[in-house]
Amino acid sequence: HAVPSVGEHPVLGIGTDVRTIFSGPSASALHKALGFGEVSLLNPILVHCKTSGKPFYAIIHRVTGSLIIDFEPVKPYEVPMTAAGALQSYKLAAKAITRLQSLPSGSLERLCDTMVQEVFELTGYDRVMAYKFHDDDHGEVVSEITKSGLEP
């Protein structure tokens, strides 16, 4: 994928040595990640351009025996997020997605219960509900979880 505005190197493409584009610690982090068995658990990895210092999130995917790295520019309002915070958020979301994907098919009730539980854990909200909407646009709660002490 192309990386916009990284200074002297306008495009990062297939076969580009990351050490020519990213800072030493960033290239090192990418190199270590590429040797990790389950690379998706490490995403995103915060890296910095060698010439401009601009931050990017590197997101690594293993696809049919190859490794693909997507680079997303870090938005200015995201900069305070630490790499550890981004990694923790990604891991929590990945865990929730894996849990949902591992559910046996056929039970919409179980899917809703699991989804509500995962959203509750991810967000920390006091209450999370799943609704089923009917043709007349009214809804009924099909699954709900609340913090202890709240009325269901």
Tens of pLDDT, residue by residue over 121-138, are 877 889 999 999 999 989
* Residue 2 within any structural domain of the chain: no
Q: Cα–Cα distances in Å, from 90 out to 59, 111, 118?
A: 10, 21, 13
Let me know whether 22 and 72 are in one domain.
yes
Give the SS3 label for residue 80.
Answer: coil
Let me know whether 34 and 57 are in one domain.
yes
Domain boundary among 31, 48, 80: 80
Per-residue pLDDT at 135: 92
Let me know whether 40 and 74 are in one domain.
yes
Two tokens, residue 29: 């982090």
Return the bridge partners of 22, or none.
49
Where in the sequence is the domain holding 29, given as residue range(s)? Answer: 18-80
Domain boundary among 64, 80, 96: 80
Let me know whether 65 and 114 are in one domain.
no
How far apart CA 52 and CA 57 sit, in angstroms, is: 15
What number of residues does the chain have?
152
The total of structural domains in the chain comes to 2
Let me know whether 60 and 39 are in one domain.
yes
Q: Domain holding 133: CATH number?
A: 3.30.450.40
* Residue 102 within any structural domain of the chain: yes
How far apart CA 14 and CA 137 sit, in angstroms, is: 50
Let me know whether 73 and 93 are in one domain.
no
Per-residue pLDDT at 152: 67
| pLDDT (mean) for 43-69 | 84
Two tokens, residue 117: 């539980």
Least confident range from 7-11, 35-39, 109-113, 142-146: namely 7-11
* Residue 28 within any structural domain of the chain: yes
Quick count: other Cβ atoms within 10 Å of Cβ 99?
A: 13
Q: If pLDDT is split at 50, 70 and 90, which confidence band does 77 have?
A: low
Let me know whether 75 and 114 are in one domain.
no
Domain boundary among 40, 56, 80: 80
φ, ψ for residue 7 (rounded to 5)? 100, -125
* Residue 1 within any structural domain of the chain: no
| pLDDT (mean) for 8-32 | 77
Let me know whether 60 and 97 are in one domain.
no
